Amino acid sequence: MAEHDFFGVIDETGGQPWREIVLANDQRVEVSVWMEHAADPDDLDRAAAMVMSLDAIDNHAREQFVAELSSSHSPTSRFVADALSGIDDEELYAALNRDSGDRAIDILRSLTLDSATIRPDQGGDDEEFCLLRYHFVPDVFAEVLVAILDARAESADIRIESW
């Protein structure tokens, strides 16, 4: 067990994660901080900063999704293509937050940030420090778009996972 000013007592054995519902860009997001082994105090501070700046981190991840649309083989492009082919026009229109006419952008704007998992024990530059999971019409799609950030809150990867 470790103690941190923001998290309080936190389990370092992979047992009970720290969990809280946080509002980010008017969304209720389940944030969990989970460790399999002790984390550097600086990485715990980075984790706390991510929780407190989840709005900005969410915006950054969405910008990365938009940037990936330029490649038809990117995870974001595949996710959008699956969404467009797996839903009829009426369901799509009901699911969109905005209707600009650019369906790919509209889908990305309509994604819901469901959860953020922060791993302060993964503080290396190439490690998965934070995973943000986004869904679109969860009753229809069993896949989520995942933005993976490093300890500097920089985009490290984007992938599709089953929900």
Looking at residue 11, its pLDDT comes to 85
What value does the mean pLDDT take over residues 52-73? 96
48 vs 105: CA distance, rounded Å: 31
In this predicted structure, the answer to whether residue 37 has a pLDDT above a threshold of 80 is yes
Find all residues with CB under 8 Å of 16, minimum gap 6, and list them: none
Looking at residue 89, its pLDDT comes to 82
In this predicted structure, the answer to whether residue 46 has a pLDDT above a threshold of 90 is yes
Question: What is the greatest pairwise CA distance in the chain?
Answer: 51
Looking at residue 29, its pLDDT comes to 98
Please state the pTM of the whole predicted model. 0.92
Name the band, by pLDDT with cuts 50, 70 and 90, for residue 112.
very high
